[in-house]
Amino acid sequence: MRFLFTCGGTAGHINPALGVAGRIKELLPDAEFLFVGAEGHMETELVPREGYPIRTVRIAGFRRGVSPRMIAENVQTAARLVKACRQAKGYIREFKPDVAVGTGGYVCYPVLKMASDMGIPTAVHESNAVPGLTTKLLARSVDRILVGLSESRDFYSHPEKVEVTGTPVRVDFRGVDMARARRELGLEPDKPVVLAVFGSLGAEYMNRAMVGFIRRMGAQGGFRLIYATGKRYYDGVRQTLAAQGLDHTPGLDLREYVYDMPKVMGAADVIICRSGASTISELTYLGKGAVIVPSPNVVNNHQEKNARVLDKAGAAKMLLEGKFDGDGLFDTVTGLLSDPQALERMRQASRAMGVTDATDRIASIVLGLAQKGKMG
């Protein structure tokens, strides 16, 4: 069987696709896979790392506004969309997939729309409670709409297509063990580990706060900090830390990006992070304590809505940008580390919210659609 996946833009869109593809590969070792992503985006790096071929189209999202500049940009975007549809159609004709699956990003529209028009079974997964524009546009065309949260059902005009599956995690998250993860990473077995990561591209506000956090850590640490700045900020953060004499702070592991995320998350006692749906699914799958800072720069403020659900359940502590600095963040994290019972209650609440079989559920649906495509 042949499986076409499309995803793009951020790791939160890419990793669910990799998770489902990995599970299908376990079940069908002879299956063939092709990914289609957006030119110049993260998928062109992350997907090949997992051993899958990828082709790209050039596409961007429409701007929301009526200024002359935005109108001009949207005209250009529309022209690119037409070309992207032609490219996608060519890839589909060449690969001849039995099913096409999208997990988020603008690139999903041309790929799934063309696949549907060509009679190929299609499915789109929406991980956030409020569907994005791409999912809304595809709702009429695709065969199945898979959602991460039950609250999403009310946003679709074709409820018969909607199935609540949870959000998948990569196969690597299965069976993650803290002790083994720390051994493999060369970390001390009994020294607390804090992971700080704020999306695949990073976040300016959080990087400023983390400099203050590291300043406090140098004087009062006692734990290991694995800190991913995001690629666009790495050089600037490194230079800032060096200028302040903080670049050799004991216990600091500064990175651009965490490529071995299942292992690093598995090793952590506390995770400081954003609240995208993919991150939430990983936290709750592993049952990790977290300090969550939702990004304010997302459509429909969906990250804060996600974060409030976890905060209310006691599965995480939510902080809002602009309401704290590095000192406040440090005090929140060390407060959790110094109260093992409170941290364990947070872990239990997180674990109770996890959908541990989301990957299997989606893989089963995709296999069913692929069989339909094979028969057709």
For 312, residues 6+ apart whose C-beta sits below 8 A from its C-beta are none
Q: How far apart are the first and last CA of the chain?
A: 13
Question: Whole-prediction pTM value?
Answer: 0.77
- Please state, in angstroms and rounded to a whole number, the distance separating the CA atoms of residues 124 and 100: 9
Does residue 336 sit in the same domain as residue 312? yes
CB 307, CB 352: distance < 8 Å:
no
The reported pLDDT for the residue numbered 146 is 95
* Tally of domains within the chain: 2
Does residue 152 sit in the same domain as residue 262? no
β-bridge partners, 291: 272, 317
CB 244, CB 219: distance < 8 Å:
no
Does residue 130 sit in the same domain as residue 179? no
Does residue 204 sit in the same domain as residue 332? yes
126 by Cβ neighbours in 10 Å (0-12 / 13-18 / 19+) ranks as buried
- Please state, in angstroms and rounded to a whole number, the distance separating the CA atoms of residues 14 and 169: 10
List the chain pLDDT tens, one digit each, 376 residues: 999 999 988 878 898 999 999 999 999 999 999 999 998 888 999 999 999 999 999 876 655 555 566 555 655 656 677 889 999 999 999 999 999 999 988 899 999 999 999 999 999 998 877 777 888 889 999 999 999 877 677 888 888 899 989 888 888 898 899 999 999 999 999 999 999 999 777 899 999 999 999 999 986 768 999 999 998 899 999 999 999 999 999 999 999 999 899 999 999 999 999 998 889 989 999 999 999 999 998 766 778 988 988 999 999 999 999 999 999 999 999 999 999 999 999 999 999 888 889 999 999 999 999 998 666 5
Does residue 140 sit in the same domain as residue 161? yes
The reported pLDDT for the residue numbered 277 is 82
Residue 205's CATH number: 3.40.50.2000
Does residue 8 sit in the same domain as residue 146? yes
- Please state, in angstroms and rounded to a whole number, the distance separating the CA atoms of residues 223 and 337: 9
Does residue 215 sit in the same domain as residue 287? yes
Does residue 205 sit in the same domain as residue 333? yes
Query: Could you list the residue range(s) of the whole structural domain that residue 7 is in?
Result: 2-167+356-375
For 82, residues 6+ apart whose C-beta sits below 8 A from its C-beta are none
- Please state, in angstroms and rounded to a whole number, the distance separating the CA atoms of residues 165 and 121: 18
Does residue 100 sit in the same domain as residue 22? yes
Does residue 226 sit in the same domain as residue 273? yes
The reported pLDDT for the residue numbered 11 is 79
Token pair in block for residue 55: 């082709």
Q: Where are the alpha helices (DSSP H) in the chain?
A: 11-27, 43-49, 68-95, 108-117, 133-138, 178-185, 204-220, 234-243, 261-267, 277-286, 302-313, 326-337, 340-353, 358-375
Does residue 118 sit in the same domain as residue 232? no
Does residue 302 sit in the same domain as residue 371? no
SS3 of 37, please? strand
